[in-house]
Amino acid sequence: MAAAERPERKIVDWANELDRNRDSETFERWKGVFEGHREFFLVYKLAGEDDLKAALRWRYVNKLYNSQTGQEYSVEQKQQLPEKQQWALTTKPLSVEATTALMNKAVDLHTRAIEELTARKWWIPVVVAVIGAVVTLLVGAVTLAGNAYVSYLQSQHQFGLSFAQKNAELAIQILQRDPNQITPELREWALVVLKGTPNIPVRDPGYVFFGRK
């Protein structure tokens, strides 16, 4: 826009010039750029026209230049021209220095906007850290609970084995006694215990019963 023949144009034409596309999406994107940076651009409609136009502000004032002939007029000379010729006047393209200054300013504003956006999101790393800590605590708690449950199951299993072992040893002692000294019910109980726990080790190696020593 700084180097174009004229600084103003329909936004749809600017979209085509800058993106080689006239579709609605491209138009809306460039319209947003022009309207979002009023410090650089002027967005307007001419009387009797529906199309939005955009102009570079630096080149929209003091239109004293004829881009066709290259002649530059003074304010007094312009006022002496016919109205049609006055409307045809524009401004000279900006110098390299002026264009560079505009570009640097635009880059600076863009950089500051990104910094401000980043500053507004300071809470994101904090939330991520908190979530990570909570997840770590939950995983630790689940692991601890799991280990405790496994230990409980192992202790219960060990208790069951110990209880069965004691019952088996007691049953062996009962069966080793004189049958006249024990009741039939007690002997039957001893037989049931040994039949129900054939794989429980007992501490009586001198007795053989149901394949057990």
Per residue in 96-115, pLDDT (tens digit) is: 888 888 888 888 887 887 87
Whether 64 and 75 have beta carbons less than 8 Å apart is answered as: yes
- What per-residue confidence (pLDDT) applies to 150? 65
For the chain, domain boundaries: 8-121, 124-196
The whole-angstrom separation of Cα 174 and Cα 191 is 9
3-state secondary structure the chain: CCCCCCCEEEHHHHHHHHHCCCCHHHHHHHHHHHHHCCCCEEEECCCCCCCCEEEEHHHCCCCCECCCCCCECCHHHHHCCCHHHHHHCECCCCCHHHHHHHHHHHHHHHHHHHHHHHHHCCHHHHHHHHHHHHHHHHHHHHHHHHHHHHHHHHHHHHHHHHHHHHHHHHHHHHHHCCHHHCCHHHHHHHHHHHHHCCCCCCCCCCCCECCEC
The whole-angstrom separation of Cα 157 and Cα 139 is 27
For tokens 């200054």, name the residue. 101
The values of phi and psi at residue 72, to 5°, are -115, 130
- What per-residue confidence (pLDDT) applies to 196? 66
pTM over 0.75: no
Q: Which residues of the chain have pLDDT under 50?
A: 203-213
- What per-residue confidence (pLDDT) applies to 204? 44
- 141 vs 5, 133, 144, 149, 152, CA distance in Å? 72, 12, 5, 12, 16
